[in-house]
Amino acid sequence: MIFQDPYASLNPRFTVSDIIGEALDIHGMAGSRAERKKRIEELLDMVGLNSDHATRYPHEFSGGQRQRIGIARALAVNPKFIICDEPISALDVSIQAQVVNLLKDLQDRLGLTYLFIAHDLSMVKHISDRVAVMYLGKMVELADSEELYANPLHPYTKTLLSAIPIPDPEIEANKQRLKMEGDQQGPITAAKGEDGTVQLDLDDTELVEVSKGHWVAKAYA
């Protein structure tokens, strides 16, 4: 797992070597100290850091470097599946693209599968093959990335996509923006656009396949 906060997810009393090597020790994946050291250096190189960083502590690194350490730790046990819990939301925008590109490169090199949890829909589209939209802890729509962004069916999905800013002031000023309505103290219950207000069926949890690989809550199929 790669955690959201690179400042809180690394033990400040551990060196980088200890942070990455802990999993190797627990799972008995290094037969000797020399093998352990070599594997840690390989992992650091894999994420764009160097062997000198192994003896340093987390406070000596920037947020982006700390997240790279977190990625190296996740890779230590040779996983096939990694949960990325909003791994870029705590980083500066200039660093986010670097980390996402690193994740994509590692995915290609190592054959990894990610469960990438995020609120940044532009980034989700960039990194994902398939996208699931959740509302109130329930999945309401699931489709291939290109299909979901081109043909959203659920009102909540449409609302989320309409909120993505467009880097053209004229288009941004004239685009239709859907709005969610509901009790401020409770769940949003409706989506309002030019076509009127659509009530959300919060109890509709059954997904149906409307086209190959495109699933949506039954009420909106």
Share of the chain above pLDDT 70, in %: 84
pLDDT at 200 over 80: no
Q: What's 117-149 look like in SS3?
A: ECCCHHHHHHHCCEEEEEECCEEEEEEEHHHHH
The span from the CA of 2 to the CA of 176, in Å, is 36
Q: What's the pLDDT band for 155 if we cut at 50, 70, 90?
A: confident
* 88-116: pLDDT as tens digits: 988 888 899 899 999 999 999 999 999 99
Average pLDDT value for residue range 67-79: 96
Average pLDDT value for residue range 11-27: 96
Q: What is the pLDDT of residue 147?
A: 96
Nearest CA among 8, 10, 21 for reference residue 58? 10
Q: What is the pLDDT of residue 21?
A: 96
- Residue with more model confidence, 91 or 73: 73
Q: What is the pLDDT of residue 64?
A: 94
Residues sharing a CB contact under 8 Å with residue 182, sequence separation 6 or more, in sequence order: 188, 189, 190
* pTM score: 0.84
Q: What is the pLDDT of residue 75?
A: 97
Q: How far is CA 57 from the centre of its chain?
A: 26
pLDDT at 189 over 70: no
Which stretches of 30-184 are DSSP H helices?
Answer: 33-46, 63-75, 93-110, 121-127, 145-150, 155-162, 169-174
Burial of 56 (0-12, 13-18, 19+ CB in 10 A): middle
Average pLDDT value for residue range 185-194: 57
The span from the CA of 102 to the CA of 96, in Å, is 10
168-175: list long-range contacts, CB under 8 Å, 24+ apart: none
Q: What is the pLDDT of residue 221?
A: 83
